[in-house]
Amino acid sequence: MQVAIQGPWSPLFGRLTLASIPYHTPILIATFAGVAVIGLVIVGAVLYYNKLGYLWREWITTVDHKKIGVMYIILGLVMLVRGFADGLMIRTQQAMAIGPNSPGILGAQHGFLPPFHFDQIYSAHGTVMILFAATPILTGLTNVIVPLQIGARDMAFPYMNALSLWLTTAGAILVMLSLFVGDFSAAGWVGLIPLTELPYSPGVGVDYWMWAIQISSIGTTLNAINMIVTIIKMRAPGMSWFRLPVFTWTTLSTNIIGLTAFPVLGVALGLLGADRYLGAHFYTAGLGGNLMLYTNLFWIWGHPEVYFLVLPAFGIFSEIIPTFSEKPLFGYTTMVAATFAIAGISWAVWLHHFFTMAAGPDVNGFFSIATMLVGIPTGVKVFNWMFTLYRGRLTFATPMLWSLAGLFLLLAGGITGMMLAIPAINYSVHDSVFVIAHFHCMVLLIGAAMFAAVSYWFPKVFGIQLDERNGLMFFWTFIAATGIVFIAMFALGFEGETRRLAYIYDPAWRPMLWTEEAGMMLYIVSIGYFARMLYVSLRDRIPVPADPWGTSRTLEFLTHSPVPFYNFAVTPQVNARDELAWRRDHGLEKTQPDAFEVIHMPCNSAIPFIIGMLAMAFGFGLIWRIWWMFGAALLGIVIAVIIRSFDKNLGYEIQPEEVAAMERNLATAGIIAEQPARKPLTEAEAH
Amino acid sequence: MSAPATSPLDHPEVRQASAWRYIAGFITSMVLMQAALMVTLHQHLPYQEYVFTTGGLALVALLCQAALFFGLDISRAQIWKSVSLVLTIPLFILSVGLTVWMFQSLAQRTMIMPVTTVQPTLLE
């Protein structure tokens, strides 16, 4: 039975009224003005340069795994900036609101954020950073790189790949929309129960949070299926299991985690939805409900999600460290075994997120030992990287620096993680900022891997150098900022500061809080260098060869830079584990095929984009209880799926002479080149 | 597997069931779910038997759906899917088993009330 809600409701607009627009909040007005100006500049530039058709044909409707991957990364970077802005506001509020005499501005009693707004900001910060920044960036990287590493033309299901992207984008749009229409959840990124139940959060904030995650996680699950099938079925001839690059192995394991874990999140949120919309009692304290059921389900997904993020990061280090050590990776087989050991154990550790809940010492002891077991395969990996570095011919290019910094962050995050795995310590520091500093070391290690990967593979994908000078400045300022913010945070944790404080009651914490704020300012400088690095690189456009680093080892560096849209003119025959290194050793890295064959490619489709936008309308309708919008969007999705299922599009073919022409003039085949319209194959031609 | 690529429905791994299988699967699922609902609503069975009965009905429904909707078997076309499903069983046992153990421990330590007012856990 549908639950009655507080406040006005109309059939046309549901709960949406003018009062839902927060035009009385100066921060949001300023943010809206900024977003509107940036949006107008982008739209204006697209129209001025007449690029609307190009955007539609080559990007929005694309099914090319590289373009989809790049769009995932752009989405993730935009959300990363949003998440950073949230983090900056959290730190600034805590730096301002110290002690009873601290002044308040913009309607806040202390600092500049009233508690309800502050709660929304830390909830958004966690949600955005984990699910809408780190996850899309890593998914994007695996999308771009894995098919190239295994010698495939594209993903196994190119259409579904585009659908995954647009569902993730729909979720991200809902999160951004909550800034300007309504509000966001104030119950933390984990959805603290029973705070997320309707009586305690009667607004639309929890609904925004819930539906944004639900919709985007369907995209992530579909992507996991796609990636697993691609790795199993689409490998080039000779690419046997134990010739797979380690990044591909980690992608496989991470997507097995994704496929098995994300449905649990879907169930956890689905049951919460049943409570909020239908008056069910899954998570209520009475009437047969159980609060802990939610926490348990959330972390059954939540902890594997940590490894979902960290395993690709380990794969990235495993690619970059050998390249810049000019040696094969030490202990390949143990690296693969360690990857799957971590993935396996990841399913038996989730309860360490709530040791203090009151489970018995036997239960806590089991999960404590299981958590510590993760340290063994992780240790194997660290020693393998160190033995790869040992006596290597080291080059400290930007990707290598990010990777080495990642190892230090892994050490700091890992050791503090082992501390937290001990229930006795966990009882002492639970919900303190010590825990926050610990997991930020882990997510910043993932961040370091992401920046390592972007700087390592950017020249490959776009065919131009990334500016090294600004890249180095970005690296050093970012790492220095990380040290300043999180060393101070560890100290504050030991001093007893609890997490999520809108007001700091102990003025003794002021020096460390101001130190953290100084670190945040340095992060702003580092973002400036990142933007400058991109600007200088795009301005100068210094072309790079197929292997921009000269010492790369894996298959993706065999094809041209920028990578043609068909990836490889001729599907490569793989001869060794590090194929490019093997060919270089045998003097074969520059050999070209004698003749080209017909290349079969999938056609673009607008349906994934349409379904993504309908999914967003579906979520918006549910959030605001605009039932007609929800029903119409759902019907639209069903119709779009039916239309697609009857679409007999068989793809198109590129003839050998056209392939030869593009191989001679790579500018016509790269990622930013516009392709001429090609006719889809007919049934007769396909036979 | 060797069917032409132009018609997905010619591939046995894509076309998973026939019309009669869909109908049979639908009817079987309906009957089993209805049975579970009746058992739950009438509350005739003691707790232990109730849990095993509804759990058993759910398992049979799962197997019927796997066989009739998805056509899972050990043929060359379906073996990947069948193996994938079997591989989720340890995961299922791990997550559900540890959850049951945790809630049992939790109930003993937090639900200190007269026994008659507390619903027994699966391990009791």
- Length of chain B as a residue count: 124
User: Which pair of structure tokens corresponds to residue A436?
Assistant: 């926050």
Burial of B88-123, coded b for 16+ CB within 10 Å and e otherwise, reads eeebeeebeebbebbbbbbbeeeeeeeeeeeeebbe
Of A296, A360, A687, Cβ closest to residue B4: A687
Question: Chain A contact for B51, CB < 8 A?
Answer: no
pTM for the full predicted model: 0.93
Distance from CA of B61 to the nearest CA of A (A): 19
Question: Chain B contact for A686, CB < 8 A?
Answer: yes
CB atoms closer than 10 angstroms to residue A382: 18
Interchain CB distance below 8 Å, B91 and A347: yes
Per-residue pLDDT band for A288 (boundaries 50, 70, 90) equals confident
The pLDDT assigned to B3 comes to: 47
Question: Do residues A28 and A180 make contact, with C-beta atoms less than 8 angstroms apart?
Answer: yes
User: Which pair of structure tokens corresponds to residue A130?
Assistant: 């984990």
Distance from CA of A360 to the nearest CA of B (A): 6
Closest among A320, A301, A293, A309 to A262, alpha carbons compared:
A301
Q: CA A251 → CA A27, A62, A65, A443, distances in Å? A: 40, 23, 15, 17
Of B6, B99, B106, Cβ closest to residue A357: B106
Among A340, A357, A362, the strongest candidate for a mutation testing the B interface, having the largest count of B CBs within 10 A, is A357
Q: What is the mean pLDDT of residues A496-520?
A: 95
The pLDDT assigned to B118 comes to: 56
Residue A467 to residue A196: CA distance in whole angstroms: 46
Question: Chain A contact for B113, CB < 8 A?
Answer: no
Nearest CA in chain A to B104: A359
Nearest CA in chain B to A233: B80
How do residues A408-452 score in pLDDT, each as one tens digit?
Answer: 999 999 999 999 999 999 999 999 999 999 999 999 999 999 999
Interchain CB distance below 8 Å, A292 and B108: no
Residue A311 to residue A307: CA distance in whole angstroms: 6
Q: CA A630 → CA A50, A176, A341, A635, B27, distances in Å? A: 35, 19, 43, 9, 30
Of A260, A288, A358, Cβ closest to residue B110: A358
User: Which pair of structure tokens corresponds to residue A354?
Assistant: 């709530």
Q: CA A185 → CA A8, A125, A260, A270, A302, distances in Å? A: 20, 11, 26, 16, 18
Question: Chain A contact for B93, CB < 8 A?
Answer: no
Residue A383 Cα to chain centre, angstroms: 27
The pLDDT assigned to B121 comes to: 60
The pLDDT assigned to B87 comes to: 84
Q: Nearest 5°: phi and psi at A504? A: -95, 115
* DSSP state letters, A565-601: TTS-SSPPPP-SSSHHHHHHHTT-TT---SS---EEE
Interchain CB distance below 8 Å, A687 and B101: no
- Listed by number, the residues of chain A in 233-272 with a beta carbon closer than 8 Å to a beta carbon of chain B are 260, 264
Q: What is the mean pLDDT of residues A56-81?
A: 96
Per-residue pLDDT band for A66 (boundaries 50, 70, 90) equals very high
Mean pLDDT value across chain A: 94
The pLDDT assigned to B77 comes to: 80
Side chain identity at A74, as an amino acid letter? I
Interchain CB distance below 8 Å, A292 and B101: no
Residue B106 to residue B88: CA distance in whole angstroms: 27
Among A75-79, A104-108, A130-134, A512-516, the range scoring the smallest mean pLDDT is A104-108
Question: Chain B contact for A300, CB < 8 A?
Answer: yes
Q: What is the mean pLDDT of residues A327-340?
A: 96
Question: Do residues A213 and A263 make contact, with C-beta atoms less than 8 angstroms apart?
Answer: no
Residue B124 has pLDDT above 70, yes or no: no
The pLDDT assigned to A415 comes to: 94
Q: What is the mean pLDDT of residues A161-188?
A: 95
Q: Nearest 5°: phi and psi at A151? A: 75, 30
Among A296, A355, A652, the strongest candidate for a mutation testing the B interface, having the largest count of B CBs within 10 A, is A296
Residue A112 has pLDDT above 80, yes or no: yes
Question: Do residues A152 and A145 make contact, with C-beta atoms less than 8 angstroms apart?
Answer: no
How do residues B31-64 score in pLDDT, each as one tens digit?
Answer: 999 999 999 998 888 988 999 999 999 999 999 9
Q: CA B86 → CA B20, B66, B89, distances in Å? A: 26, 11, 5
Residue A350 Cα to chain centre, angstroms: 21
Interchain CB distance below 8 Å, B95 and A264: yes
Interchain CB distance below 8 Å, A359 and B4: no
Closest among A103, A54, A42, A109 to A78, alpha carbons compared:
A42
